[in-house]
Structure 1
């Protein structure tokens, strides 16, 4: 079992696409279109590779939850990557700022960015293949 996709409702599809294209330059728009969602038109796209993707649609209204607050909702989601330095450089060179540099751990490195819709995204590079080390809480 694995998570195939996450579906994000946003106000600006293009801004989101730019962020995720910068993070994952090997991904592509798999499909896209226009449809109706509960009586409201929306543009949508699926951005990813052959296994995983992000579904993004543009009929969002209002602000995302306050990430420093305690409201119910999505706190963050994470992607496992092979090279955290390369990803961080790409995002910073495209003027995206690190929101949280992550925590020191001998078995993983992580960094957090806020995407254009206000979702916190963690990127993690594991330095061990041993599950007990990867999942420790040092």
Structure 2
């Protein structure tokens, strides 16, 4: 079993495509259309590859949750990459700044961006193929040593 897609309701599909095309240059629009969602017209599209995609719908209203707050909702989602520096460079070139740095960890590098709809997206590069190292919580490991 694996996650196939995430469905995001946004205000501006074009702005979202600018961000995600920079992050995933090999992805493409798989399908798109128009319809109605609970009485409101919407455009939608699926942007991804043959196995994973983002479903984007343009009928969003209001602001996304405050990422620094404590509101219930999506905190972030993450993608694994083999080259974190390349992802950062592509997103920076497209005009997107790093939102916050990742943790200092010997077995992985990560970084956070906020997409145009206000969703926080983590990108992570694992530096070990050993699951026990990849999944090690460094804060917990430090406490156990003390």
Q: SS state of the match for residue 99, structure 2?
A: strand
Query: After superposition, where does 1:46-125 map in structure 2 within 5 Å?
Result: 46-125=46-125
Computed over aligned residues only, the root mean square deviation of the Cα atoms, in angstroms, reads: 0.5
Q: SS state of the match for residue 65, structure 1?
A: coil
Question: Which has the greater radius of gyration?
Answer: 2
* Structure 2 CA distance for aligned equivalents of residues 93 and 76 of structure 1: 22
Detail structure 1 runs of 4+ shifted over 3 Å in the superposition: none
Unaligned 5+ segments in structure 2 are 139-146
Q: SS state of the match for residue 47, structure 1?
A: strand
Residue 132 (structure 1) aligns with: 132
Structure having the higher helix fraction is 2
Q: SS state of the match for residue 90, structure 1?
A: helix
Unaligned 5+ segments in structure 1 are none
Query: After superposition, where does 1:6-45 map in structure 2 within 5 Å?
Result: 6-45=6-45
TM-score (norm: length of structure 1) = 0.99
Count of aligned residue pairs for this structure pair = 138
* Structure 2 CA distance for aligned equivalents of residues 65 and 14 of structure 1: 21
TM-score (norm: length of structure 2) = 0.93
1:132, CA displacement in angstroms? 1.1
